[in-house]
Amino acid sequence: MSLYRTHTCAQLRKENIGETVKIAGWIHRRRDHGGVAFIDLRDHYGITQVVCGPTNPHFEKLTHLRAESVISIEGEVIAREAGTENSELGTGEIELRVVNFEVLSEVTQDLPVPIFGELEYPEDVRLRYRFLDLRRETLHKNIMLRSNIISSLRRRMNEAGFFEFQTPILTASSPEGARDFLVPSRLHPGKFYALPQAPQQFKQLIMVAGFDRYFQIAPCFRDEDARADRSPGEFYQLDIEMSFVSQDDVFAAIEPVLSGVFSEFSTWEADAAPFVRIPYKEAMLKYGSDKPDLRNPLIISDVTEVFKRDDVTFNAFKGTIANGGVVRAIPAPNTADKPRSFFDKLNEWARKDMQAAGLGYITFAAGEAKGPIAKFFTPEALELLKSLSGVGENDTVFFACDTEDKAAKLAGQARNRIGDELGICEKNVYRFCWIVDFPMFEWNEDEKKVDFSHNPFSMPQGGMDALLNQDPLTINAYQYDIVCNGVELSSGAIRNHRPEIMLKAFEIAGYGAEVVEEKFGGMLNAFRYGAPPHGGLAPGVDRMVMLLADTPNIREVTMFPMNQNAQDLMMQAPSNVSNKQLRELSLRVAVQD
């Protein structure tokens, strides 16, 4: 039996009445009636009400302890008086009458943030006193949710026949990708380790080593600036790799894991396997994004041909189209009676936030086409427009006209805004989809050359034959993303395990064999000693927890987050180091404090 407690603060029930027990925890709240005082004692598990009468020798001390002091109380479990039970507490039918108590840790100064209640507090104070913030119910629950999700992921992966392996934290800087965190080497002056941006090469080497199916809750480090949904510096992935698989095999392996976890930890409906698969091109056209939120029912369409017609005289768009631009149509159903401000606001947003020329629109109401640009259309053109964009009476259609990339992006963002404004998106569901058939290469306009569009290690569809005989910009890769509610959880790929195909792919992107051998020689060389076809992916754990906790901010699901400027306000990181430490590392700091 523990020195401090026989039960937790969530355990005691009517069945325990009459027992003498000990509980320990934090003073959550105190209600002192003079003649009788109540203390809510809180631990990780719950809250138990402690009652203390005026004749109790401990009354004076107990009623003067500040909130959040830690005490251990020995007492008798008694039934609450009839009518004073609290149905909101599991322990609400009983209370503990104090017999003896011990102060384990007394609070003697003002709390920088109150624990009780769920008010909002300044982020910097919360981060500086994270250990207090973490006591608060919502955050405490989120962190436990995270813990439980990770347990469940491990269990599901193990059950699916995957093995968990650790990969190095101190490794080599890799040439492409995000900025690396560097760690100076003491033994090799002037040289640096890098923290892994992801265990990409290691997991492929694990496949080459014959372990067949790997996973890891892998820490990843990228020295990039923060966002609300992106911690500065570090995050976790459910890193997965499998041997002897096609794209479909990877999907089939991971779908039940994701679907299962989302069903397990939420009351919301989660899509069951198999998830919808949307080719990249189709996603960019219909949703204006490679991470479409399928809760939004709006579908974008291409209406360039309408604006090309001779009986349509809207010259602003015609000029853009003549220069290779396109027009995308975003429907806004049942908006005929929206006030002018609804349309103006969207237009203003497009101009200011999106730096677009604007969003033209036509509203169909009472058998007429209304709006600033409606007069440029003949009835025939309007009919074609309606059928292409899927709008009808009482609907509006908005237009995004620009180069294909920009028009798609503007239309996609407009789709999100319109869906939100109209309140037509599904609620309380998790909608998953795979985005497949990403292009292998893309045209880099700045450098006038072909670049890899995503991961250079992905296998091109069509293999060597495609690389030799096809226009590179038309080649797709076995590269895929998984998206949930508009959040990109993960990208992944069937890897290119054939050295000659890899060298050819790099050659197309302008990298000679020497460069590839130098930068990726380790892995390339490994592939020359017998490598299985393999592929995988790496869903973001933090993102999954955010979705399941239904919070837009990653700090709400991270135990000890840094602030937006990549500082740990509690541990004071980053910090200065001593000259001795610098000397050992052969470093000299070039800036003064």
Partner RNA sequence: GCGGGCGUAGCUCAGUUGGUUAGAGUAUCGGCCUGUCACGCCGAGGGUCGCGGGUUCGAGCCCCGUCGCUCGCGCCA
**Structure letter (DSSP) for residue 569:** T
Provide φ and ψ at 399, rounded to 5°: -120, 135
Distance of closest approach, residue 459 Cβ to RNA, in angstroms = 14
Q: What DSSP string describes 419-432?
A: HHHHT-S--SEE-E
Question: Judged by CB, which is closer to RNA: 122, or 521?
Answer: 122
For RNA, which is the closer residue by CB, 65 or 587? 65
In the complex with RNA, which residue's Cβ is closer, 468 or 473? 473
Classified as helix, coil or strand, 175 is: coil
Residues 138 and 119: beta-carbon distance below 8 Å: no
Minimum distance from residue 305 beta carbon to RNA (Å): 30
Q: Which is nearer to RNA, 280 or 376 (CB)?
A: 280
Closest separation in Å from C-beta 38 to RNA? 3
Q: Which is nearer to RNA, 64 or 155 (CB)?
A: 64
CA distance linking residue 495 with residue 521, whole number of Å = 16
Q: Is 572 left (phi over 0), alpha (psi -120 to 50) or beta?
A: left
Nearest to 314 by CA among 355, 371, 364, 353: 371
Q: Are 182 and 192 in contact (CB under 8 A)?
A: yes
CA nearest neighbour of 449 among 405, 506, 402, 503:
506
Alpha carbon distances (Å) from 394 to 213, 214, 307, 365: 54, 54, 22, 5
Q: Is 262 exposed, middle or buried (0-12, 13-18, 19+ CB in 10 A)?
A: buried
Could you tell me the smallest distance in angstroms from the CB atom of residue 477 to RNA? 11
Helix (H) or strand (E) holding 541: helix 541-549
In angstroms and rounded to an integer, the radius of gyration of the C-alpha atoms of the chain is: 30
Residue (418 or 477) nearer to RNA, CB = 477
Q: Round to whole Å and give the CA distance between 394 and 371.
A: 13
- Smaller CB separation from RNA, 106 or 248: 106
| Angle between helix 137-159 and helix 247-264 axes, rounded to 10 deg | 140
The type of residue at 494 is I
Position 575: which residue type? S
Torsion of CA 126, 132, 133, 136, to 10 degrees: -150
- Our CB check for RNA shows the closer of 334 and 572 to be 572
Euclidean distance between CA atoms 383 and 400, whole angstroms: 19
Nearer of residues 35 and 530 to RNA, judged by Cβ: 35
Q: H or E stretch including 62? A: helix 59-62
Q: How far is the CB of 255 from RNA (least distance, A)?
A: 20
8-state DSSP, 115:
S
Q: State the minimum distance, in angstroms, from the CB of residue 178 to RNA.
A: 4
Give the shortest CB-378-to-RNA separation in angstroms.
39
**Which uninterrupted H or E stretch holds 452?**
strand 449-452
* Residues within the interface to RNA (CB under 7 A): 29, 31-36, 38, 40, 49, 51, 53-55, 64, 66-67, 80-81, 83-86, 88-89, 92, 95, 110-114, 117, 119-125, 127, 174, 176-179, 197-198, 200, 222, 224-230, 452, 454-456, 491, 538, 553, 555, 563-565, 567, 569
From the CB of 389, what's the least distance to RNA, in Å? 27
Q: How far is the CB of 524 from RNA (least distance, A)?
A: 16
- Between 196 and 325, name the residue whose CB sits nearer to RNA: 196
Cβ atoms of residues 414 and 330 within 8 Å: yes
CB nearer to RNA: give 67 or 299.
Answer: 67
